[in-house]
Amino acid sequence: MRVNRLVIESGDNTLGVDFHERLTVIAGVGRLEREGLINELIGSMSSARSGVHLEFTDSRQRHLAVFRPTVGKHRVIDTDKAVDVTEEFTNRVGIVDVLGRHAIDARGARKVMRLSSDQLRTGEERDDAVQQLASVDQTRLWKAAERMLASENHLQHEADAVGSVPEDVEIIEKIEERHRAYEQAIEHHEHVRKAAFGIGGASGIVGTLGTLMIGPIGLLALLLGLAAAIASIVFRRRMDQALVAEEQALEEAGAASYLGFHLQRVNGLLADDGNRKRLMDAAEGSRGAQREWEAVAGGITVDFAYKHKDAIDAAAQVRRNVDSLDTMSSTTPAISRDQATDLAQVLVQRLTEARGIGKSDPNLPLVLDEPFTEVDPSVKPLLLELLSTTAGNPQVIFLTQDEDVASWARLEALTGDVSIIEPTPESESRQIDAEMSVSSH
């Protein structure tokens, strides 16, 4: 939806405002005037009050006019076809309600369509996770995200091929590792047992003969035999410990034995070593992708990143704009640069949200109600430049009495991308009278 013209009748006075399709700056308006204009703009879309007329273009590019005469029926006319479409915009109680088609009332519209300085204040709507992801190298970030998703999909595919699930891999590897340790312990124990048996037998014979013939030599042989026996006991204990560790892993997996585990969970792995190797390789690839992602994004998940990709891209662009802003000199305090990034991100976020407010016609205008009152002067140029490049989707209406904003708008108006409305000495008294009447409603 794009607002084209608002006409307010108050007694003998009539106030008409034409809006630019992208960005309209209405300058020289104080708090009361801004409040009145916002009330009338939103009221023209929803109120039953007479004397407020609205012309707008809908998502079907129809040029429509809402007429609310003081006497007579309120109507909506398709001005291109000269067709009455009032019924299309009439609610259940017979009131012409343009906002009703968007499943939103005047109170809700005021919250989502209006952005004030309080709402723009630094950190008010800042999302730390989005800011964190926006601060890193974006090429590296999204490459890591793509690799992460690809590795997860590959692991899932290989797990499906053997009738398993990715979560089984960790259990499989734990059991495999402990089973290998158990087999190695058995092998070592067997070697030691055989060696100990040979050493022990030889030492017994030599010890017996040595005791009879040469006392010290016999004693040494007996000591060697005892050492061999102790070594055999130690390796036997290690084997038993490896077996206990394997049994614990099997118990965690819900299997009674190593073979039983394979039969219960990954029988396909026994039948095809190729499947088994591919699954393990896929698991290792997934872990590598996870490490790479965490090195870039820390503890933030890939799912979060993709869900908030638009916000992250916008925040990253804002940071690049701040870094390259010519008007901010090298002596600008760091706090101003941080403020620029934060405020610009909030502004972009609100512009993005405004695109999805309605249902049948999602783009409702965003009204900026003097949002830069507490902004550092060095930051304003960036925010205004951001508005210049992003306004239009949605349409932006900027109400202000800030001379910095007005001066900027006068120059931008020369390009045709922005329009500025300022009170003239002749119209000022009539406008004030009308707005005072507007504020009383």
373-398 pLDDT, tens digit each: 888 887 888 888 888 888 888 899 99
Helix (H), strand (E) at residue 56: strand 52-57
- pLDDT at res. 326: 46
Cβ proximity of 329 and 321 under 8 Å: no
Check whether residue 150 and residue 266 sit in a common domain. yes
Burial grade of 330 (CB within 10 A; 0-12, 13-18, 19 or more): exposed
b/e per residue, 108-137, with b = 16+ CB within 10 A? ebbebbbbbeeebbbeeebbebbbebbebe
Dig out the tokens for 318 from the structure. 């804002």
258 residue type, one letter: Y
What are φ and ψ of residue 50, in 5° steps?
-80, 160
- pLDDT at res. 172: 61
Regions of the chain short of the pLDDT cut 50:
122-126, 212-214, 255-270, 326-329, 331-332, 334-335, 358-360, 427-441
Residue 303 lies in a domain: no
- pLDDT at res. 436: 39
Residue 135 lies in a domain: no
Cβ proximity of 430 and 56 under 8 Å: no
- pLDDT at res. 266: 46
Check whether residue 179 and residue 289 sit in a common domain. yes
Residue 429 lies in a domain: yes
Residue 412 lies in a domain: yes
CA dist list (Å): 24 to 48, 99, 188, 395 = 26, 21, 84, 8
Check whether residue 14 and residue 86 sit in a common domain. yes
- pLDDT at res. 428: 47
Check whether residue 288 and residue 313 sit in a common domain. no
Check whether residue 39 and residue 181 sit in a common domain. no
Residues of the domain holding 184: 141-297
- pLDDT at res. 431: 47
Number of domains in the chain: 2
Check whether residue 98 and residue 148 sit in a common domain. no
Residue 56: strand pairing partners: 3, 64
pTM over the 0.85 mark? no
- 96/89 Cα distance (integer angstroms): 6
- pLDDT at res. 5: 96
Helix (H), strand (E) at residue 183: helix 168-213
Give the residue from 249, 264, 297 where a domain finishes. Answer: 297
Residue 192 lies in a domain: yes
Dig out the tokens for 385 from the structure. 């430049």
On the CB side of 84, CA atoms within 13 Å amount to 8
Residue 133 lies in a domain: no
